[in-house]
Amino acid sequence: MIDDIKKDAESRMKKSLESLHANFNKIRTGRAHSSILDSVTVDYYGSPVPINQVASINVEDARTLTVVPWEQNMVPKVEKAIISSDLGLNPASAGSVIRVPMPMLTEETRKGYIKQARSEAEHARVAVRNVRRDANGDIKALLKEKEITEDEQHQGEEAIQKLTDKYIAEIDRTLESKEHDLMQV
């Protein structure tokens, strides 16, 4: 029973870490990366669709993305979607190819992105701690129903704490790496 609780807690903590990685991919570092456009949706015949389902996105060089819509009539819609996104990008279309240059980051914007990254990391830490709280509550419920002994409860709570420490350390390493990327000019 405790193993089931531990497995569930680990899978939920892993999801929190994956969510953090996804959120970090949305934070620009000044270098071109195709995942920057993941949050952009395009109006495709009346319904909002992720940009990667109507166009191919490639990294042309360190500072430029190329977006090639699969249908010629989608070029203006894709361009408009990139402009209207909150990413602060200014695409330029040349025929059927849309080039998206990555603007240089100022010191002020870098610090703002670092603040955003730290906030995302703190949300992930809170999520991991909430999973720990839930798992420990489940273990205490088993003890209360006399399905496990007090020793098993302590062992279970120690195992959950080790998991928590592992995932918090991983979140901290991920944040440190992101901060390093953001501060590189």
Mean pLDDT, each 10-residue run in order, the chain (185 residues): 89 92 77 77 87 87 86 87 82 87 80 88 94 92 88 91 94 91 76
Structure confidence at residue 159 (pLDDT): 92
Structure confidence at residue 57 (pLDDT): 87
Length of the chain: 185
What is each CA distance from 18 to 50, 56, 81, 124, in whole angstroms? 19, 24, 26, 9
Structure confidence at residue 9 (pLDDT): 92
Residue 1, number of CB atoms within 10 A of its CB: 12
10, two tokens:
């680990």
Q: Whose structure tokens read 């010191």?
A: 107
Contact present, 113 and 183 (Cβ < 8 Å):
no
Structure confidence at residue 36 (pLDDT): 79
55 pairs with which residues across the strands?
Answer: 69
Contact present, 63 and 32 (Cβ < 8 Å):
yes
Q: Where are the chain's structural domains?
A: 2-25+106-183, 34-101
Phi, psi at 104, each rounded to 5° = -65, 140
Structure confidence at residue 37 (pLDDT): 81
Assigned architecture for domain 34-101: 2-Layer Sandwich (3.30)
SS3 at position 21: helix
Structure confidence at residue 29 (pLDDT): 67
User: What's the pTM value of the predicted model, to 2 decimals?
Assistant: 0.71
Contacts of 22 (CB under 8 A, 6+ apart): 38
Contacts of 95 (CB under 8 A, 6+ apart): none
User: At the topology level of CATH, where does 2-25+106-183 sit?
Assistant: Topoisomerase I; Chain A, domain 4 (1.10.132)
Q: 180: number of CA atoms within 13 Å, CB side?
A: 6
Q: What is the dihedral of CA 80, 81, 87, 92, to 10 degrees?
A: -40
